[in-house]
Amino acid sequence: MRKLIILAIAVISITACSTAFKNLTASLPDLGNKPNGVYRGEYSVAGTPVDVIADVTVQNGQLTFISIIKHTSSPIGKRAEKIIDSIIAKQSLDIDAVSGATASSKAILKAVENALE
């Protein structure tokens, strides 16, 4: 019985931590007056091991390159790194998370946002 209670508490804790980031949003600041350059941002998702550091290049008011400097996550979370192509193509942070890698996707989006604030 005791093991069952401990297991139930663990499942509830993991579920609460794993869903806390689902409502996390990021928005792209106005880049019209942003000087050309490389900007560094980072974000850690509370309650998870996910941590991202990204360098974001701005040229003539456009995102031209995003480099993931550090991405601590599960192996599945690494799949989220493919969203950087969508961010650049759409010039937006209104990008769907990669299925199975939601925490990492959100962390990448927030790191880019933080770099540009």
pLDDT tens digit sequence for 100-111 = 999 999 999 999
Q: Quick one: pLDDT at residue 5?
A: 53
Q: Quick one: pLDDT at residue 29?
A: 87
Q: Residue 26: CB partners within 8 Å, gap ≥ 6? A: 93, 106, 109, 110, 112, 113
Summary mean pLDDT of the chain: 86
Strand blocks (E) in 4-104: 37-44, 51-59, 62-72
Q: Residue 40: CB partners within 8 Å, gap ≥ 6? A: 53, 54, 55, 56, 69, 115
How many angstroms separate the CA atoms of 114 and 117, rounded? Answer: 5
Give the pair of three-digit tokens for residue 53.
């550091």
pLDDT tens digit sequence for 50-82 = 999 999 999 999 999 999 999 999 888 999 999
Q: Hey, which residues does 63 pair with through a beta bridge? A: 58
Specify the CATH architecture of the domain 2-116: Alpha-Beta Complex (3.90)
Sequence spans of domains, the chain: 2-116
With beta carbons less than 8 A apart as the criterion, state whether 98 and 80 touch: yes
Percent of the chain clearing pLDDT 70 (strictly above): 81
pLDDT band of 25, cuts 50, 70, 90 = confident
Task: Give mean pLDDT, residues 35-42.
Answer: 98
| Helix locations, the chain, DSSP H | 2-19, 83-90, 102-116
